[in-house]
Amino acid sequence: MNTRKKLSDLAKTIRSKNAGTDKITFDIIFRERDTYDMVKRSGVLTRESVCRILNVDPARLTDFVEYDPAYAIKFTILRVRPSGSAGDGDIFGAQQYAPFLDVDVDISA
């Protein structure tokens, strides 16, 4: 029996978007509490793992919240450069979530 699933198979929504000109926020939202709790227990989404997955310095992670009422894990990072400035490759911050799609989750946790 396979005890692993991709985060994208478990979550209802995985997205990123602007949070002002200097931040990008991420939302990983689940349909039901059991799946949300299982992902939390698995430990695949922590302050440390988010930084590793995004390859960002931990000092850039400004917020990390497990928001139980919405079955959501939310976090925010500081941008390297302001949204829309020269060299910004994602003005809306909407393309930054992709590394989370293939995160393996141990569903036996």
Name the band, by pLDDT with cuts 50, 70 and 90, for residue 104.
very high
As beta bridge partners, residue 74 has 27, 65
Name the band, by pLDDT with cuts 50, 70 and 90, for residue 2.
confident
Query: Per-residue pLDDT tens for 50-93?
Result: 999 999 999 999 999 999 999 999 999 999 988 988 888 888 98
Closest-CA residue to 19 (of 99, 75, 100, 85): 75
Residue 53 and residue 68: Cα distance in Å, rounded? 23
* Run of H or E including 39: helix 33-42
**What pLDDT, on the 0 to 100 scale, is given for residue 109?**
63
What pTM value is reported for the model?
Answer: 0.93
pLDDT at 1 over 70: no
Residue 74 and residue 100: Cα distance in Å, rounded? 12
* Run of H or E including 87: none
Neighbours of 52 (CB within 10 A): 12
